[in-house]
Structure 1
Amino acid sequence: MRRAAGFTLVELVMVIVLLAIVATISVQFVALSTQGAIDTGDRQQRALKAVVVSEQITRMLREAFPLSVRVTGPTDNCIEWLPIVGATRYTELPKAGGSTIEVVPFSRTPDDDSVRAVVYGYGGSADDVAAKFYQSALQNPGPISPEIVKPIDNSTVPVSINLDAPHRFSAKSPARRLYVVSRPQALCSEPDGEFEELALYRGYNVGASYDRGNRDVLAANLKGPAEFFVKPISLRRAAVVSFSFDLATPGSTETLEVSQEVQIRNVP
């Protein structure tokens, strides 16, 4: 009689166990590979985000009027400045009771956000000048003018800048330097749930709180508050602003530390 061939129960169990082991290893390998790809993508996104945010902050600060940059906020978590929108040399400053500044034509006509003129001289410290910029009532005489009556006609020689009130500048510039600045801007680190975010405020008036302006989120998912530091300008070196923050990704324990210095080259 012919004997029947086949697998025993023990052999079948062993095959099932081996297949389960292979399947478990395969799933773990795929899971680890997938997680590795996700982590790599998160790192690349954080690195790209760090480059973009740092470049945005750098470009904004390099256009700042040097003596207007200051660290502010309830816990020194904001940096505030006056953006420069035009630069030239003056030929005649207002005399007592006058409200007209005569200047050399601008290389580029200041835009509609131009609101005040600043004579850039050697007088006063950065702290003194910054305090005058941001107080509720501008001083007369002082380094910063009342608002400019728009528009500025850049086609005449000399160009006349008309102010909406008489003003006398507290000091002259040895190089006759004059800047036109727009309304203040402020970059603040603010809580956002378990993370922090960088918020840009703009469009508010000198002497007003920055929370009255338009608010745009420049960066989110910061692990902890951003830090700002200003090294004031001197006669021999430009102002230096340093900032640092840690970028995080929700659901990940990894962070990317960003630290950079910005040199504001407009020395006296």
Structure 2
Amino acid sequence: MILKTDTRRLRGFTLVELVMVIALASVVAVMVSSVLSRPLEGFMAQSRRAELTDMAAIALNRMTRDIRLAVPNSLRVSDSDGDGYGDTLELLPIHEAGRYRANQLPNASGNIDLNSVRYDPPRCPPPPGTCQIEVLSPLDKPRVEESKWMVIYNIGAGGASAPQAGANVWAYGKPGVITPTGVGFGLEPAQPPENKQKLVLSGVQLDGFGFAYASPQHRFYLAKEVVGYKCVTEGGETSLRRASFSDLRAAGTYEYGNARWLVGSVSRCRINYKPGTNTRNALVTIELGVKKGGEEVVLLQQVHVDNAP
């Protein structure tokens, strides 16, 4: 018996039809990918730039906050790598502040005669006398006890490159605008008849110490640390770092190797400081660039500084 197949019921693709479908699908895929690739690349690039902008902005905002809280005329900028641009910013932040009253020295018995002469700028008696300065504004005792230096009328003479001893916080002198390192601070509560809080200064470094200048507004500042920012290059990568120090040193002598990172992948780090004049405030200009993944963002920040001591 011979079986016959009805060819009208058979269905399928020929090789030519299959090749045509594959070719058309490839063309459609290429067209779709070309249309979508640019928006996707733009989105990824924008995301990378936004991340870099946030990294640089956070670092600049931290620097701006410290600059605005600095003791007047305590900012200094130095160039450690010799490329002609500043890469190190150091300052003395205000820890506590207020107004003082011209002080009186104790007599031979250690007591203070309320009718005795008052000294402005304040001065300290020789040992064993106690150095006390009345304050006209309430202070926080724990913050006072944490402090390491007292500053009165720092005029910043000589600038950062060659500070003049006795007239600049970076060069101690006797008399001077800042107390020597190693002085301790305490606060006595208000007592009659003066009813004024008293700053109590202690330490052998105060033997005969006196402040160089009287503040016209009777302002004083207390500080507990030096804060520094520096762009450090290690292993081919540059990072902006922040550190704090407990002593006063010459510019370029602090060590930042173990300082805390603020931002890495720094491509540009330029800091410029223009001291103020009689007609304008001082100005700090910071140019910070961050580069990562083929993207680079450069931010420029300017901070006005009121250096009125």
Q: Same fold (TM over 0.5)?
A: yes
CA contact (8 A) 1:204 1:213 kept: no
Q: How does 1:96-115 map to 2 (within 5 A)?
A: 97=126, 100-109=131-140, 110-115=143-148
Deviation (angstroms), 1:144: 0.9
Residues 14, 123 of structure 1: alpha-carbon distance in 2 compared, 3 angstrom cutoff = closer
Q: Which residue of 1 aligns with 2:308?
A: 267
Q: Does 1:232 align with 2:265?
A: no
> Which moves more between the two structures, 54-63 or 92-101?
92-101
Among 73, 78, 81, the residue aligned to 2:88: 78
| TM-superposed deviation, 1:151 | 3.5
Q: 1:228 offset after TM fit, Å?
A: 0.9
Question: AA paired with 1:21?
Answer: V
- Contact (CA 8 Å) 1:232, 1:239: kept in 2 or not? yes
Q: Find 2:298's aligned residue among 246, 252, 257.
A: 257
In structure 2, do the counterparts of structure 1 residues 11 and 185 end up closer, same or farther at CA, with 3 Å as the change threshold?
Answer: same
Aligned partner of 1:87 in structure 2 is 97
1:223 and 2:267 equivalent?
Answer: yes
Correspondence for 1:149: 184
Structure 1 counterpart of 2:71: 65
**Which residue is equivalent to 2:201?**
162
Q: CA 1:104–1:145 in 2, change beyond 3 Å: closer, same or farther? A: same
Q: CA deviation at 1:49?
A: 2.5
Structure 2: segments with no counterpart, 5+ residues: 1-5, 104-121
Shift of 1:115: 0.6
| Higher CA-based Rg | 2
> What's the offset of the Cα at 1:23?
3.1
Cα 1:106–1:213 change in 2 (3 A) is farther
Aligned residue in 2 for 1:119? 152
Once the two structures are overlaid, the 10-residue window that deviates more, 116-125 or 258-267, is 116-125
Superposed CA deviations along residues 128-159 of structure 1, whole A, max 9, x for unmatched, are 65775335xx3212111124314334656141
SS at match of 1:67: coil
In the alignment, the residues of structure 2 paired with residue 247 and residue 256 of structure 1 have an alpha-carbon distance, to the nearest angstrom, of: 5
Structure 1 residues 153 and 233, CA gap change in structure 2 (3 angstroms): farther
**Over residues 150-205 of structure 1, what are the superposed CA-to-partner deviations in whole Å (9 max), with x where a residue is unaligned?**
43346561412313222122222222221112221110011144442110110331
Cα offset, 1:220, TM superposition: 1.4
SS where residue 169 of structure 2 aligns? helix
Give the equivalent residue in structure 2 for 1:181: 223
Post-superposition shift, 1:20?
Answer: 2.4
Residues 9-88 of structure 1: pairs in structure 2 closer than 5 A: 9-27=15-33, 32-75=38-81, 76-88=86-98
TM score, norm. by length of structure 1: 0.83
Superposition deviation, residue 35 in structure 1: 3.3
- Retained in 2: the 8 A contact 1:67–1:130? no
2:139 matched to 1:133?
no
Count how many residue pairs are aligned between Structure 1 and Structure 2.
263
The 1:21/1:162 distance shift into structure 2, 3 A limit, reads: same
Contact 2:77 2:273 in 1 (8 A): yes
Structure 1 vs Structure 2 CA RMSD: 2.9
**Residues 111 and 89 (structure 1 numbering): CA distance in 2 closer, same or farther, change over 3 Å?**
closer
Give percent identity, aligned residues only: 25
CA distance in 1, matches of 2:225, 2:201: 17
For 2:148 and 2:38, locate their aligned partners in 1 and report how far apart those are by CA, in whole Å: 58
